[in-house]
Amino acid sequence: MSQAVLSSGQESNVRHNWNVKEVEALFALPFNDLMFQAQTVHRQNFNANEVQVSTLLSIKTGACPEDCKYCSQSARNKTDLEKERLLATEKVLEAAKKAKEMGSTRFCMGAAWRNPKERDMPYVLNMVKGVKELGMETCMTLGMLSKDQADQLQDAGLDYYNHNLDTSPEHYNQIITTRTYQDRLDTLDNVRSAGMKVCSGGIVGLGEQAIDRASLLVQLANLTPQPESVPINMLVKVEGTPLSDVDDLESFDFIRCIAVARIMMPKSHVRLSAGRSSMNEQMQSLCFLAGANSIFYGCKLLTTENPETDQDIALFEKLGINTETIDDDSKDVELKIKTAVIDNQHSDLFHNAAQ
């Protein structure tokens, strides 16, 4: 099913009045009942054998002034990450071309900033225009945005803006103190008002309680309209960050989180994001069964590991999953994509870009 079909009537049958109690009740369902419900909702809204694929490139790495306790890019965390200034536009476009050849329909560009400075704007606007000219969807994550910056990005052709809520409002102060929950909601509001699509989700495994996962999903689902894209990340513990030795989240709790997100946000793409490299094929398959229908390709997710692209293709083949294309009617495109993935699997572009 194409995205164009899904966007028409995107909001019909979507609820925005979820409360934490009823979401906790969903989490408490027997696992098989929860999976059945999630898969039923998934099939009502999507082709259950199709996954959308994006590529994420870090366009500016490290030295971020924010204090997100999970992040290797915060200047306050002593990690061995190599910093990198804003990449030249040509380098970004070269990576986007490669991503397109490898089957990505959306190119996401991430910068480790509190917010873009006015002097950065001409560069990022040019990147958006260039990637659009390649015929790809564009997404950026640059930190907080003012109304004016959101308008400029929309005018340049930016399709999606990513800004995660990260965790519940109740757990938030344990994780970040340099920007407020309301700052995040305000940025999402500016993005929406400018007319762009919203990509917003969170991270689980941050030492939060089960009720925090329910509360995060309530925040996301009650946004009006709901985010078109909802990344659910499993914490990748990075040495040198305050969360490096937090207790692991039980795998089934993660899968339940995907399933509940699918039920609450039936029309959104639920993205299986960071943490995928530590999940075996069976766990990823259960996430797809629970309703995840989007992933990132590429060896690095900003600065943490992501599975090799050829492993993803092999898993998709085992499961009979097709990648969602922008122009949905050409199986030739898909074949070309798979060939290009195999040809490009040893390309080091995506490694270098994020180091």
Task: Answer yes or no: is 71 a known binding residue.
Answer: yes
What DSSP string describes 14-82?
------HHHHHHHHTS-HHHHHHHHHHHHHHHS-TTEEEEEEEEEEEBS-BSS--TT-TTBTTS---PP
Tell me how far apart the alpha carbons of residues 253 and 98 are, in angstroms, rounded to a whole number.
Answer: 35
Is residue 202 a contact residue for ligand SF4 (CB under 6 A)? no
Exactly one of 45, 58, 74, 241 binds ligand SF4 (CB under 6 A); that residue is 74
What DSSP string describes 78-110?
---PPPB-PPPHHHHHHHHHHHHHTT-SEEEEE
Tell me how far apart the alpha carbons of residues 257 and 286 are, in angstroms, rounded to a whole number.
Answer: 12
Task: Answer yes or no: is 299 a known binding residue.
Answer: no
299 is catalytic: no
Type of residue at 331: K
257 is catalytic: no
Q: What are phi and psi of 32, to 5 degrees?
A: -65, -35
287 is catalytic: no
**Footprint of ligand SF4 on residues 112-151 (CB under 6 A)?**
112, 143
* 65-73, 185-193, 226-234, 275-283 -> range binding ligand SF4 (CB under 6 A): 65-73
Catalytic residue among 106, 179, 271, 276: 271
Tell me how far apart the alpha carbons of residues 175 and 70 are, in angstroms, rounded to a whole number.
Answer: 8
Question: Considering the complex, what minimum distance in angstroms separates the CB of residue 206 from ligand SF4?
Answer: 12
Question: Considering the complex, what minimum distance in angstroms separates the CB of residue 73 from ligand SF4?
Answer: 4
Q: Annotated catalytic sites, by residue?
A: 64, 68, 71, 108, 139, 199, 271
The binding site for [2Fe-2S] cluster comprises 108, 139, 199, 271
The binding site for [4Fe-4S] cluster comprises 64, 68, 71
The binding site comprises 64, 68, 71, 108, 139, 199, 271
Point out which residues bind ligand SF4 (CB under 6 A). 64, 66, 68, 71, 73-74, 112, 143
